[in-house]
Amino acid sequence: MSAITVIILVLYFVIDTFWVQKRQWLAECTPIYIQYFVKFFIIGVTVLVVAVPEGLPLAVTISLAYSVKKMMKDNNLVRHLDACETMGNATAICSDKTGTLTMNRMTVVQAYINEKHYKKVPEPEAIPPNILSYLVTGISVNCAYTSKILPPEKEGGLPRHVGNKTECALLGFLLDLKRDYQDVRNEIPEESLYKVYTFNSVRKSMSTVLKNSDGSYRIFSKGASEIILKKCFKILSANGEAKVFRPRDRDDIIKTVIEPMASEGLRTICLAFRDFPAGEPEPDWDNENDIVTGLTCIAVVGIEDPVRPEVPDAIKKCQKAGITVRMVTGDNINTARAIASKCGILHPGEDFLCIEGKDFNRRIRNEKGEIEQERIDKIWPKLRVLARSSPTDKHTLVKGIIDSTVSDQRQVVAVTGDGTNDGPALKKADVGFAMGIAGTDVAKEASDIILTDDNFTSIVKAVMWGRNVYDSISKFLQFQLTVNVVAVIVAFTGACITQDSPLKAVQMLWVNLIMDTLASLALATEPPTESLLLRKPYGRNKPLISRTMMKNILGHAFYQLVVVFTLLFAGEKFFDIDSGRNAPLHAPPSEHYTIVFNTFVLMQLFNEINARKIHGERNVFEGIFNNIIFCTIVLGTFVVQIIIVQFGGKPFSCSELSIEQWLWSVFLGMGTLLWGQLISTIPTSRLKFLKEAGHGTQKEEIPEEELAEDVEEIDHAERELRRGQILWFRGLNRIQTQMDVVNAFQSGSSIQGALRRQPSIASQHHDVTNISTPTHVVFSSSTASTTVGYSSGECIS
């Protein structure tokens, strides 16, 4: 448009001057002709400046940056800027239970001790002394010594739980039994513990070995009730004696104790012990499976973690917004189902699926044990609760939902996680939420947003802000494109017909400032409202410009063009002033063109209020005073416009206007608000010719090479696994090199010869058996040295 404008102006001038008027090119007239050509060039550049919506990247950045700053107040610490917009399109949320949906303040509320099911914590007198002794010692030493209960910060407040919340619940249970765990810990300090099998998400248990003064050993174990009970061969009876515990007895306890507890939403933990007599040979402590078996059950306790009071309402909002919430937890399936029902994830009479991780894995794998996408596609649409799941199950589920092609739109998945093992799932998800309080550094590093309060309601706030970002950019686009269409057509048509742009270069730059920088600030800082959660997600390929927006853009552009062209070609008669058309080169600013400029700017100003609504709403003033920035910019622009028109003079090509002319300009500007009401009356469905614009890139439009690269990048978990294997081989390779060097020194042969005999790393990747095997390898944390022992007796540290 810019180039065509310049070419037409130059050709018109040349043909009119040298062809029609048959003038000669005189040397003394050259500077005047050059001034004309420079003027045409400036008009062309002006059209270009107005036509290019350079404010769009600014609007996107301002909207995202503003949202990120405000989200911090809503307990969302955004690590990746684009994640906040992606969250607005989320269709699925896979949430943890503990701490996110629940309060993570656990207390023991039921217990099965000495063959009795207590519905509330029993009195210590009701428990036989020897069982009480096992309970006190077992819980005190078999909980991390970092877990403790501190006095409340304020008088009358609740005691503070420090460390693992489940362990704090067990320690609180001892305090309820009027026993102090600290006395036991003082008697048996952490350094004196013989062996500790720490808790992990696979075996779901923790065990601690104590060495007694007579040389015997006692192991205390705690963990998921059904897993520990399977390893119990005895149980402490009502009189405190150990009696045989058969599979039939175990099934009875599961049916009469564990399932009722779980159905009330309680997490069930089994406590057990085992003695190793002094006379027997010392067991192989490295073989945990042989050690933690043949246990004697002490008690089963039910731990309550109440649902956060605000969560059911937040989940209802998510469901209204078209987002499916799924619970992925390590808890018992009955507990998970009870909590999911309390939260509102499960509704009676709905067709949903609640399965355990073991069952999930069995259903999604073929005979060879490989995961098949078709099998996942049969499960995930109805899946609402995945219980007893491992972090790998969470990653598999997230990957399966993202890669699925069952639904029309590609699913956008948000995931919450707090553990180190949740890293791959958080990385794989479109938006990963890490817990700010309970989360590990690895989880936070892998996430996009950190929930500083570990609360599910903060995720709903993130959805609102994400949708608000999308809407803010659409609002700005609607406003910007209306101005663009009008300004370009006016500049182009006016230049071609009148040999001069009705809007001068400096005026165009002021218009550009209004519609780019200031408009992006005003429209990109709109606060979100609850109404954003009443519609379904847009989807990844939804066009930025909807048909309603296209109707608004074309409708308002039509009104503004009619007003501008009427003023341009008939304004001088209406206002009874001199015409500004066909003015000589250095003529003073005319009232005529000043009215055109003033009316044009005021129409943009009132149209900015129209642009606040993009879904055809009638009340464009709703919530306008909630956005102070918007009000400030609109009023500020109006004041500056008055100053430019009244005092701008020659630099702004403006002439002073009378009160009457100002009132007409304001009246025509306000006409856009009334015209907007008329446009919103016309149903979009009737306007079949309107098209959407601004589609996302479709898959078929992406070159195959890029798709191939994408496939390579997809599986973070596999990549981590591969990297882990390479590091492992490299470590073993270094160990073997060191062994060969030691052997070379001992035998007196050359070191070079020892190194030459080393197989390459590449060959080790294919043949692991090439590596000499040390008798034991211990890779510990940075607090201890890494020691490797060898069969020949050397030790390298």
> Which residues sit opposite 415 in a β-bridge?
94, 432
From the number of C-beta atoms within 10 Å of its C-beta (0-12, 13-18, 19+), residue 440 rates as middle
Q: What is the chain's percent helix, strand, coil content, to nearest 5?
A: 55, 15, 30
Nearest-angstrom CA–CA distance, 696 and 194: 61
* Contact (CB, 8 A) for 298 and 135: yes
Instruction: Note every long-range contact of 657-666, with CB atoms under 8 Å and residues 24 or more positions apart, other chains counting.
Output: 657/591, 657/594, 657/595, 657/598, 661/575, 661/591, 661/595, 661/598, 662/598, 664/575, 664/595, 664/599, 665/595, 665/598, 665/599, 665/602, 666/602
The tokens describing 306, both together, are 């109440």
Nearest-angstrom CA–CA distance, 483 and 53: 10
Nearest-angstrom CA–CA distance, 8 and 499: 9
3-state secondary structure 536-554: CCCCCCCCCECHHHHHHHH
Nearest-angstrom CA–CA distance, 751 and 395: 47
> Which residues sit opposite 422 in a β-bridge?
none
Nearest-angstrom CA–CA distance, 329 and 274: 30
Nearest-angstrom CA–CA distance, 300 and 744: 59
Radius of gyration of the chain (CA): 37
* Contact (CB, 8 A) for 138 and 271: yes
Query: What SS3 state is found at 500?
Result: coil
H/E segment holding residue 787? strand 787-789
The tokens describing 575, both together, are 């206002």
The tokens describing 720, both together, are 């981590």
* Contact (CB, 8 A) for 426 and 446: yes
Sheet holding 92-95, edge to edge: 76-78, 449-451, 431-435, 413-417, 92-95, 324-328, 383-387, 353-356
Alpha helices in 323-372 (DSSP H): 333-343, 357-364
The tokens describing 282, both together, are 């010392």
Is 96 annotated as catalytic? Answer: yes
Catalytic one among 16, 74, 82, 96?
96
DSSP string of 501-523? -SS-HHHHHHHHHIIIIIHHHHH
The one-character DSSP state at 124 is: G
* Contact (CB, 8 A) for 30 and 517: no
Nearest-angstrom CA–CA distance, 503 and 47: 10
* Contact (CB, 8 A) for 582 and 618: no
Closest CA to 567 of 597, 589, 604, 587: 597
H/E segment holding residue 275? strand 266-276
* Contact (CB, 8 A) for 415 and 425: yes
Question: Looking at the annotation, which residues are catalytic?
Answer: 96
